[in-house]
Amino acid sequence: MPLLEVKHLKKIYTTRFGNNPVEALKDVNFTVEPGEYVAVMGESGSGKTTLLNILAALDRPTGGEVLLAGTPTSAIPEAKMAAYRRDNLGFVFQDFNLLDTFSLRDNIYLPLVLAQKNHTEMAARLEPIAKQLGIADLLDKYPYEISGGQKQRVAVARALITHPQLVLADEPTGALDSKATESLLHVFEEINKAGQTIVMVTHSTRAASHAGRVLFIKDGVVFHQLYRGEHTSAEMFQKISETLTVLTTGGNSVE
C-alpha cells in the first residue's frame, strides 16, 4: 500500500478583492511508496507550495483528497488535526522556523513536549539523531548563535524526533549557501537510506537531483516525472536540467 496517495487534488483561491478565482492546483495525482524520496519541482506560482500545504493539512483542498497510510486527511476532525500532524508528519522549512526563545535542544524537543512525552524519553530519542546530524555539540546554543546550515540541521532533527511517517520539506536549501546545501542534501539522503520517506518541494535542480524521483508541476498538474534508478546525482542533474528546459521552452507548445 502506498504511504501517500494524492487523488484529483484541486485548489481554487478566491482573493478578497475582485472575484476572479485563481486555480492553484487543477488535478494533481501521484502516490508515494514507503521509503521513497520524492522531489516536487516547478516554477514560482506553479502551485508547489499550495500542494505542500495541503499535504501538511495546513490547508484544505477544494476538491480531491489526500490519503496518508490509507486514511484520508479530510476525515480527521479539526480538533485532532494538530496532534495528527505532530504524530505523523515532520516539517522542514526554508526559513528554519526555529524559535529564538528556545535553546536548540528545546527547539528539537518542542513537538515531543507538545505530545506530552516524558523528559528521559525525549533525551533518549534525541541522542542518536543529534549524532547522526552532527549537531550534538551545539544543543545548548541558541538559534541566533549558529549558521544557516546548522539551523537547518536542527530543523531536520526537530522533524525527525517524532519518528514521523512522512517528512515534508519546503525549499529546505533555499536559504543556504552551496556548501551547506550540499551537506544538507547529504543528510537527506542518509536519513532516506535509513528508511525515512521524504517529500521535498524545491525549485533547485541541485536539490532535486539527490531525490529518488522528481515530479514536475506546471499550471496545477503533474506534468512529468523522472526516476533516478541507477543514475548518479550528476546524471540526474543533467536529466532534470533538460526536462526543465523542455518545460520552459518547449512546454509552451504543448498547450
Partner 1 sequence: MNSRFYLRLAKTNISKNRNIYTPYHIAATLIVMLFYCLISVTTMVAKSDSSTMAFMLGLCTVICGIMSLVILFYINCFVMRRRKHEFGLYSILGMEKRHIARVMMWEVMLTGLFCIVAGIVCGAVFSQFFFLLLMYIVKLPTRLSFTIPLGGVGVTFLLFAAGFALVLLYDVLSLRRTDPIALMRSGKEGEREPKARWLVALIGLVTLGAGYTLALTVKTGSEALMAFFPAVLLVIAGTYSLFIAGSIALLKLLRKNKNFYYRPKNFISVSGMIYRMKQNAVGLANICILSTCVLVTLSSTVCLFIGEEDILRSMYPRDVAASCVANTPADGDKLREAAEDHAKAYGLSLENPTGFYRIFCPGVRSGDSFKVQTYFDNSTYQVYLTTLEDYNRNTGSTQTLGKDEVLAAVYGEPLQGTTLSIAGHDYRIAQEVDLPAFIGAADKMKALVVVLPSFEALQTQLGEINANLSDDDARVLFYHYQYDTAGGKAVSADYYDTMYSDFAAKVPTLSRVQDVNGARNEFYQLYGTLLFVGIFFVALFLICAVLIIYYKQITEGFDDHDRFRIMKNVGLSDAEVRSTISKQVLLVFFLPLLTAVLHISVAFPVLLKLLMAFNMANTPLFLGCTAGSVLCFSALYLVVYRLTSRTYYRIVQA
Which one among 79, 229, 250, 252 touches partner 1, defined by CB under 8 A?
A: 79
Cβ closer to partner 1: 147 or 232?
Answer: 147
DSSP H or E run through 81: helix 78-88
For residues 181 and 230, give the distance between their C-alpha atoms in angstroms, rounded to a whole number.
23
Residue 246 sits at φ, ψ, to 5 deg, of -60, -45
Q: Which residues in 136-175 contact partner 1 (CB under 8 A)?
A: 142-144, 158
Cβ proximity to partner 1, 101 vs 249, nearer residue: 101
Query: Which of 66, 70, 47 shows the shortest CA–CA distance to 56?
Result: 66
Among 4, 32, 38, 85, binds partner 1 (CB under 8 A): 85
Q: Which positions ≥6 away from 12 have C-beta within 8 Å? A: 21, 22, 23, 24, 62
CB of 151 to partner 1, least distance (A): 11
Identity of the residue, 56 or 221, whose beta carbon is nearer to partner 1 in the bound complex: 56
- Considering CB under 8 A, how many residues would be counted as binding partner 1? 30
Single out the segment in contact with partner 1 by CB under 8 A; choices: 33-41, 97-105, 231-239, 244-252. Answer: 97-105
CB of 39 to partner 1, least distance (A): 21
Q: How far apart are CA 82 and CA 97, in angstroms?
A: 17
> 49 vs 209, which CB is nearer to partner 1?
49
97 binds partner 1 (CB under 8 A): yes
Smallest distance, partner 1 to C-beta of residue 159, A = 9
Pairing of strands 37-41, 197-202: parallel
What's the N-to-C CA distance of the chain in angstroms?
34
- Residues 40-59 binding partner 1 (CB under 8 A) are 58
The residue among 36 and 170 lying less far from partner 1, judged by its C-beta, is: 170
Given candidates 23, 59, 65, 106, which one binds partner 1 under the rule CB under 8 A? 106
Give phi and psi for 188, each to the nearest 5. Answer: -60, -45
Evaluated on CA atoms 51, 197, 4, 112, the torsion sign reads negative
Can residue 101 be called a binding residue for partner 1 (CB under 8 A)? yes
Assess 30 for contact with partner 1 (CB under 8 A). no
Q: How would you list the strands of the sheet with 166-170, edge to edge?
A: 71-72, 63-68, 4-13, 22-32, 221-227, 213-218, 37-41, 197-202, 166-170, 89-92
Binding site for partner 1 (CB under 8 A): 58, 79, 81-83, 85-86, 91, 93, 97-102, 106, 109-111, 113-116, 118-119, 122, 142-144, 158
